[in-house]
Every structure is written in structure tokens, then in C-alpha cells.
Amino acid sequence: MAKSLISIRDFTKEEILHVLETAKEFEQNREQKFLEGKVIASLFFEPSTRTRLSFETAINRLGAKVIGFSDATNTSQSKGETLKDTIKMVDNYVDMIVMRHPLEGSSRYASEVATVPVVNAGDGANQHPSQTLLDLYSILQTQGTLEGLTINMVGDLKYGRTTHSLLQAMSHFNPKFIFTAPEELKMPKEYKGFLDRRGIEYIETTSLDEHLNNCDILYMTRVQQERFTDPMEYERVKDVYTLNASMLGNVKDNMKILHPLPRVTEIDQDVDETKYAYYFKQAENGLYVRMAIISYLLGYRPLK
Amino acid sequence: MTHKELVVSALENGTVLDHIPAQYVYKALDLLGLKDIESQITIGINLASKIYGKKGIIKIADKFFEDEELNKLALIAPKATVNIIRDFKVVEKKMLETPEEVVGIARCKNPKCVTNHQPIKTKFATIQNGDEISLKCHYCEKISSIKHAL
């Protein structure tokens, strides 16, 4: 079984830092075609344009060719073929598989069936490790370090998988957390337990204003309407978590705002022009991080 | 007519599983695959017990288990005891050990887990929290309680 990236916990601290270091190399020089002659499968069993374009651009920039599909309706899966058979077939053709699938655990399973490395580009609400690595890279690039930072996570902390994975990955680097969420969408107990066991401090609040001025990273997420049983409750909450430029008067000078995108109402457009906005650059960073993940797993940028 | 007394006879050779919580006796038969074997099996349910109030007991004639097989029982009856009987005597008493991994017998409670949609053998890591055991799915990483998973 080749080394795959399914969950952020599959990478040690050393591997995480190595991938981030490699991403810097690609940010400085994105024209490196050392994967010429390789073929990589991009299997999107559910559509995700943003993630797919980022991965496929990374593959192309490294000189490899892409095969695959962008949704499963026209594949044999719709005829009832098992996931195992689809993966086995593709595995014969390619050097690596990038996959996104609506079922949780599907990428782990695929990595056990395949002989080539598998990169999980999202398995339902479970894991999306390349997003986590690009978040880490964005934090590193804006703060100059990952050590000892205060991260304020805002919005849907209950269902938002990006916040859960980021929390786990950051636990290597002595962070402090602020969890800003409405009662209904608070950080689940299992993740708070994870922090307790590691002696990592966190504060919970329902107010966005309360801790805005003492964090290094403001990690905003979308509050999804469909999570609420009471529509009135949603209406009340959604505006509470709208960040606008007038709220940023007293924030730390080095503070940067991250968001996995797409955003809806949670960050006002007037924030885009401030020096704190980093979410578009964050999306661009995804390209370099994905180039680094692919190069590492294929053995072109091995750990020293 | 003479009055015949029904006596649960002592085993000559075999295995006695004692101190099973009464409500889990059928589950225990299931876990150990005892529903399809030829051996003579005696089952007691709701017997008086100092530990549980009511307990269950299963006696299986001429059957000896591998430890690995028996340890599945620890998932539902961690305090169960196992007596190995040879020639009417207890030759060995065993305590159960919770297995680190549970393969094939449990079901993930997450409806979106790939194992509930594809023909995949389930696999869980056991998490022990005091007397409570829960199962973490190897695939979707969600945690199921024993009650939900078995």
C-alpha cells in the first residue's frame, strides 16, 4: 500500500512541516514540470468545482496529465458498480488518485484497495486534509510561525469539518483557541476533550466582538441555514456573525482573516479591502500546497 | 407417576460462560456464533446475581474457544467469567480482555459511512472509558456506542 493522505492525522508534525516547506518552493516557482509522463486520476463522485480546479491545476503545473470525471452521474457507479471495482480499474491506469466522494470513509477504503497513493479531496463531512494543510500554510505565511498563536474560530463549529481538522493539526504547535459560535453550533465535546487531554487552552463565547482584538488568526466559517431547526434562530444568529470593516479598529496589527470559502454574509465586502483580509490569497495557497502534497507522495520531494 | 425433576446438568467437557448481563445472553450467543453449532447448549437467564441483580449463564458442551473469539464477549459483558471444564472439573478460569479491534461483527451508526453503502467488512478500534466501551470506525472515524453498533 502506497503512502496516502486521507486524514490530517496520517501526517506527523515533521511531514506537515515538510509539505509546508515544499509549498514555499512552489510559490516561488510554480513552473516545475518534473511529473511529465505521469497520469493522475481526479475522481469527483460529487461536484466540487473549487477543489477540483485547484487539484487539476496543481497536476498540470507539475507536468502530469489528468484523467477523471467531475461528477458520478455518467460513470458505472450509476449502473451499480462498487466503489472497489471503480478504484481497481483506475488504479491500473494511473500513478495517483485524487478523489472526492459523498460517503464518509470512502477515501480510506479506496486507499486500501488501490496500489497507488490516494489523496482525499473530501469524504462527506469527514476529512479534507489538503484544506487543512493550506490553512496551516496560510497561517505560517502570514504569522511567520505556527507556534504559540491564538486562533479564533467563528461560525459553525459543530458541523464544520475544516475547523475540526485545523484544531487537530494546530495541536502540534502550542496554540490557544477561541471558539465563537451560537449555542446550537458549539464545538463538539469530543474535540474539546482532545484539547483537554493535551493541555491546550480554549475559551468559548457566543459574541464575535468579545475576543476579536486579541487573536492572531480569525478563522471565519459559513453558518448554514439548513443546520437550524428554528428559522427565527437562524435569522438572529446570521447577522451576529457578520464581520465588517468598522469592527476591525482595534484588532492586532498582525491579525489575518481566513475563510475556507465560499462566503455568503459572514464577511462583508468592505473587509476585502483591508489589510486583514487573506481569504483570496488563502485559496491561491491551495495550489502550492497541493503541488507539494502530490510531489511528496510520489517521492519527488522526500523527507530529508 | 413419579415426579421428575428437571436439573441443569453439570458439564462433562466444555465451556461455561458466567456473569453475562441477563439482557445480553442472546447477543452473546450471536457474537460467539453459537446459533448454528451442533453441541448441546444450556442457557440460564435472569438467575440471581450479586453483581448485576440478574445474570445469564451459557454452558456449551464439548466446545472450547480461542481467546480471540471469547474476547468479543468483553464488548457486551466485560465482567463475564469463563470456566473451562474437563471431566466435570473446572480446569481453567479466564477473564476477558477487551479486543483492540473489532472486525466484521459491528455496524457503524453513521448513515453516511461508506460501510453502510458498499460491501465492506467493518472495522473499529475500541475505546474504553471506565466500564463503557465504544467503537471508533476505521473508515468514517465516527464513534458508535456498543448498543448502537452491535
ipTM of the modeled complex: 0.89
Question: Residue B143: its chain A contacts at CB < 8 A?
Answer: 190
pLDDT at B5 over 70: no
- Over residues B6-29, the mean pLDDT reads 85
pLDDT band at residue B7 under the 50/70/90 scheme: very low
Best probe of the A interface among B121, B127, B141, B142, by most A CBs < 10 A, is B141
* pLDDT of A184 higher than 60: yes
Q: Does A84 touch chain B (CB under 8 A)?
A: yes
pLDDT at B1: 47
Q: How far is A81 from chain B (nearest CA, A)?
A: 10
- A-chain CB neighbours of B119 within 8 Å are 82, 84
Give residue B9's pLDDT. Answer: 67
Q: What is the mean pLDDT of chain A?
A: 94
| Joined grid coordinates for residue B89 | 472439573
Q: Residue A95 pLDDT more than 70?
A: yes
| Interface touch B110/A104, C-beta < 8 Å | yes
Confidence tier at B41 by pLDDT (50, 70, 90): very high
Q: A109 and B141: CB-CB below 8 Å?
A: no
Average pLDDT of the segment spanning B5-10: 58
B107 touches chain A (CB under 8 A): no
Average pLDDT over residues A248-273: 95
Q: How far is B112 from chain A (nearest CA, A)?
A: 5
Residue A235 pLDDT = 83
Distances (CA, A) of A125 to A16, A128, B47, B148: 22, 9, 46, 20
pLDDT-wise least confident of A103-112, A174-183, A223-232, B88-97: A223-232
* pLDDT of the residue at A147: 98
What pLDDT score does A10 carry?
94
In this predicted model, which residue has the larger pLDDT, A298 or A72? A298
Q: Is A82 on the interface with B (CB under 8 A)?
A: yes
Which residue is closest to B139 within chain A, CA to CA? Answer: A105
Does B112 sit within 8 Å of A104, measured CB to CB? Answer: yes
- Predicted TM-score (pTM) above 0.90: no
Residue A105 and residue B138: Cβ atoms within 8 Å? yes
> What was the pLDDT predicted at B6?
45
Give the sheet arrangement for strand B123-129, strand by strand.
Answer: B101-103, B123-129, B132-137, B143-145
**Model confidence at B25: pLDDT above 70:** yes
In this complex, is the C-beta atom of B113 within 8 Å of any C-beta atom belonging to chain A? yes
Per-residue pLDDT, averaged over A20-40, amounts to 97
B111 in contact with A at a CB cutoff of 8 Å?
no
pLDDT at B3: 56
Q: Considering only CB atoms, which chain B residues are within 8 Å of A190?
A: 143
What is residue A46's predicted lDDT score, i.e. its pLDDT?
A: 92
| Average of per-residue pLDDT across A75-83 | 83
| Residue A86 sits at the chain B interface (C-beta within 8 Å) | no
Instruction: Kindly list the residues from chain B whose CB atom is less than 8 angstroms away from the CB atom of residue A122.
Output: none
Chain B: residue whose CA lies nearest to A123:
B140
pLDDT, mean of residues A97-125: 97
* Residue B143 sits at the chain A interface (C-beta within 8 Å): yes
Q: Predicted confidence band at A176 (pLDDT cuts at 50, 70, 90)?
A: very high
pLDDT mean over A1-17? 95
**A26–chain B nearest CA distance, Å:** 32
User: Per the CB < 8 Å rule, is B118 touching A124?
Assistant: no
